[in-house]
Amino acid sequence: MDADVLTPDFATYPWIPLDRVGFAPPTVVVGWADGTSLDCHALWLYENTVAIDPVTREATVDPGDLPAAEFLTSAERRADGALLLGWADGRESVAHPGWLSSIARGEHVPSFVPGPQEVWTSQLGEPPTFDGTHVLDDDDVLDAWLGAMCSFGIARLRGTRADRTLLEELAYRIGPVRGSNFGGIFTVEAKLDADSTANTGLNLGQHTDLPTRETPPGFQFLHCVENTVAGGASRMTDGLAVVAELAASHPDEYAALTTLQWVFANRAKDGDHRWIGPIINHGAPSSPLTLRAFYPVRLAPHMPSGEVERAYAALRVFSRVAHDPRLMIRNRFEPGDLVGFDNRRVLHGRDEFDSGGGHRVLMGCYIDRDDVFSRLRVLRRTGEAGDRHRRAKAADETKEEQAT
């Protein structure tokens, strides 16, 4: 076994020897003992074995400079189970069979991590919750929490250090903070000169933040450092459940919500962000759901005037479903609680509270989905977390096979 075979990335793969190799130019067909197989085009193998830069692990050959597929002259199983390739100029290259296996199993596609989404309703009760005492230095805690956040769209840490600097420390352990007109790390607390409805004691209807952006922030994090007010409970609703309910029970309103567009505009004194979109945006195939649901910044209908009545009627139904107690969970923030949620999927809101009767201080920030997923992939590249994830996925697949 040659564990030093270069792969076109920085992951560590188990050595899964090839069971068979067939070559029908320009395609090499490799297979494993468990019955899986993979078709590999000669030029794809060239790019990912001959042409890998050993430092960046990226392909180095411009497509215009690639050889003809006939440049691959032989493909065989090496004694240790690797794929041995012979090229017309006499060179040989080797493909790692564990890496090829990961491609055959679809582990390279973007959706493999974060994995499937779990749709939830009020029966969830509490967000998936993890002990946050050691999250700053324990990768297993970070892995478990981020993993649940990606699946459920929400997950909570309890028992973190309840001060105003913890969130920033944790955020940079995940990825770059995405700034906004609220700054990088922002504070949510009742203020006399509020720059947002969030910074009052008012009830906040179920919403998603910053629909005024072409791509609204992916994940939002809220860390409670102080909460002595009565009321002010946090409310969360899974947008996937809302969309499913609308599609099933209110098809006309669902059609209006997915097609009729609005102009969203930020109204800060020193900013002017604008975007147009429907309330429910499914986007292109394989792109995530984006809900644009924040009435304080919904500026104007961008549709024929004859459609506006229908658009408002649909908004009314959207709001009713988004606040339906059968779908929503309601939880009080305790100092040390840190909740992360998918801002484009999960609607969040807040009960009103009396800002004169105590303090409610949350620190907040955004981190884009790309960066959360990237962190999770890196955590799962090697070591126990990666092995655990692979074992869990294998167990799920076994369960599915048994069920079908």
Contacting residues toward Fe ion, per CB under 5 A: 209
Minimum distance of Fe ion from residue 87's CB (angstroms): 57
- In the complex with Fe ion, the residue whose CB is nearer, 142 or 346, is 346
DSSP character string of 299-346? EEEES-GGGHHHHHHHHHHHHHHHT-TTTEEEEPPPTT-EEEEETTTE
Minimum distance of Fe ion from residue 243's CB (angstroms): 19
- In the complex with Fe ion, the residue whose CB is nearer, 23 or 264, is 264
What is the distance between the terminal CA atoms of the chain, rounded to a whole angstrom? 37
* Burial of 365 per CB tally in 10 Å (0-12, 13-18, 19+): buried
- In the complex with Fe ion, the residue whose CB is nearer, 209 or 253, is 209
- In the complex with Fe ion, the residue whose CB is nearer, 135 or 236, is 236
Minimum distance of Fe ion from residue 399's CB (angstroms): 37
Q: Which residues of 12-43 are buried (b: 16+ CB within 10 A; e: fewer)?
A: ebebbbbbebebeebbbebbbeeeebbebebb
- In the complex with Fe ion, the residue whose CB is nearer, 148 or 198, is 198
309 C-beta neighbours (distance < 10 Å), count: 10
Residue 324 CA, chain-centre distance (Å), reads 25
Find out whether 322 and 242 touch, Cβ atoms under 8 Å.
Answer: yes
Minimum distance of Fe ion from residue 30's CB (angstroms): 50
- In the complex with Fe ion, the residue whose CB is nearer, 262 or 366, is 366
Minimum distance of Fe ion from residue 31's CB (angstroms): 51
Half-sphere exposure of 369 (CA within 13 A, CB side): 21
Minimum distance of Fe ion from residue 179's CB (angstroms): 16
- In the complex with Fe ion, the residue whose CB is nearer, 209 or 337, is 209
Position closest to Fe ion via CB: 209
Find out whether 371 and 142 touch, Cβ atoms under 8 Å.
Answer: no
Minimum distance of Fe ion from residue 98's CB (angstroms): 44
Rounded distance, CA 261 to CA 138, Å?
45
Question: Which residues, in sequence order, are CB contacts of 278 under 8 Å at separation 6+?
Answer: 257, 258, 259, 260, 261, 262, 292
